[in-house]
Amino acid sequence: LQFTEEKLGQAEKTELDAHFESLLARADSTKNWTEKILRQTEVLLQPNPSARVEEFLYEKLDRKVPSRVTNGELLAQYMTEAANDFGPGTPYGKTLIKVGETQRRLGAAERDFIHSASINFLTPLRNFLEGDWRTISKERRILQNRRLDLDACKARLKKAKAAEAKAAAVPDFQETRPRNYVLSASASALWSDEVEKAEQELRLTQTEFDRQAEVTRLLLEGISSTHVNHLRCLHEFVESQTNYYAQCYQYMVDLQKQLGRFSGTFVGNAESTSPPAATSPPAVAAASLPAVPTIPVVPTIVGVPSTVAESVLNPNEVKPPASGTRKARVLYDYEAADSTELALLADEMITVYSLPGMDPDWLIGERGNQKGKVPVTYLELLS
């Protein structure tokens, strides 16, 4: 009744102090944003909604979530099986094995990252929502009931005092109506007793409300320690994510070096019908390149077009073209795989140019008297 009358504007409401209201608003904001961050982090770690529902059900049933291979590990399995089918000794089979092994390592790193993020970040957020926040919500509901009781007692006391004042003003002191005086005096005494009972009940209700408000206030002030705990968890999440991406980057750099080092084996593969890569292996690095390079012709092999091109060059004997050179800034450190490549240091400036027949993923780079092939992905070409 009290709640309804408050909503309809027919009853007064005890307002909490400004500090208490700010604590309530801060707690609600913490709860709402924690839920959103938790849900979106779960989506980041597991984009598959069906898998998330399955993990949720296993968690609620208090059963162990079955082990699930990552996408990288599944891709590695397919690549390895394909290599065994095509022949692990063929260039394509060897490359599939190398790439598959890297994908397996990436999948394992992803699994470790998901496990670490779940323990160090998701679990504390979930514990707050399912533990501390439930306690706060329960005490807030009790406080709401105590406040409604307090306001009802205030309204009851107000009505009793108004009735007592009215009864005291009614008595008729005329001698011709003694009966009315007796009835009015009796009614005034009854309302006086009612006022005393309402005042006593109000004191008890006020005490209970004050006690519950203090309990709730202490819980709400504990949100500050929750923020500190979540801050620590956030640092751990960032650290685990940094380690994960650093591992992935290192795995891919190693793979890129392996593939670049053996890209020359594509040439002369009787089973291949695609143009060969232009990166030369160390064994043929001493071959010279004319000043105006042309695309050589590979000897005819049965089943292979006779115009398969391979650009075999020695960067140290190449002369830069008269035009077409550009400046480039190095984005990352690069360690040369062999004598035909040029080692790079991040943020240094070098001169680069391309030659006919070269792999588009590589350029010739010059730094003073040093010269060699450099990967395009490590450079920022400047106009």
Is the model more confident about 239 or about 278?
A: 239
| CB 313 within 8 Å of CB 293 | yes
71 pLDDT exceeds 80?
yes
The two structure tokens encoding residue 331: 């984005």
* Closest alpha carbon to 258 in 102, 363, 374, 79: 102
Structure tokens at 242: 């940094």
pLDDT at 41 (0 to 100): 95
Task: Report the relative pairing of strands 326-330 and 370-375 from DSSP bridges.
Answer: unpaired
Q: What pLDDT score was predicted for residue 308?
A: 34
Tens digit of each residue's pLDDT (9 = 90 or more) over 164-177: 787 777 654 444 45
Q: Are 249 and 233 spatial neighbours (Cβ–Cβ below 8 Å)?
A: no
- Tell whether the model's pLDDT for residue 274 goes beyond 60: no
- Residue 350 and residue 229: Cα distance in Å, rounded? 48
Q: Which two tokens mark 29?
A: 């904001």
In terms of Cα–Cα distance, which of 32, 55, 33 is closest to 45?
Answer: 55
Q: How far apart are CA 306 and CA 299, in angstroms?
A: 6
Contact 308, 269 (CB under 8 A): no
**């979106």: which residue's tokens?**
40
Asked if 379 contacts 331 with a C-beta cutoff of 8 angstroms, the reply is yes
Single-letter residue type at 203: R
Lowest mean pLDDT among 5-19, 29-43, 331-345: 5-19
CA gap 245, 248 in Å, rounded: 5
Cα Rg of the chain, angstroms:
41
Tokens read off for 83: 């290599």
Lowest mean pLDDT among 169-178, 225-234, 293-302: 293-302
What integer pLDDT is reported at residue 253 of this predicted model? 93
Give the residue among 91, 48, 98, 54 at the shortest CA–CA distance from 76: 98
Q: What is the end-to-end Cα distance of the chain in Å, rounded?
A: 77
Q: Which H or E element spans position 352? A: strand 349-353
Which domains can be identified in the chain, with CATH numbers? 1-170+185-266 (1.20.1270.60), 325-382 (2.30.30.40)
SS3 call for 70: coil
pLDDT band at 16 (very low <50, low <70, confident <90, very high): confident
Least confident of 10-24, 52-66, 136-150, 215-229: 52-66
Contact present, 136 and 278 (Cβ < 8 Å): no
- Two tokens at 50? 């069906």
Contact 259, 100 (CB under 8 A): no
Mean pLDDT, rounded, of the chain: 80
> 14 and 153 in contact (C-beta within 8 Å)?
no
Q: Specify the long-range contacts of residues 167-175, CB closer than 8 Å, at least 24 apart.
A: 167/191
Other CB atoms within 10 A of residue 173 CB: 9
C-beta separation of 76 from 107 below 8 A: yes
Distance CA 249, CA 95 (A): 19
* pTM (predicted TM-score): 0.59
Rounded Cα distance, 29 and 27, in Å: 5
Which tens digits make up the pLDDT trace of 22-40? Answer: 999 999 999 999 999 999 9
> Are residues 147 and 107 in contact, defined by beta-carbon separation less than 8 angstroms?
no
Which DSSP category does 274 fall into?
S
Structure tokens at 286: 């001493």
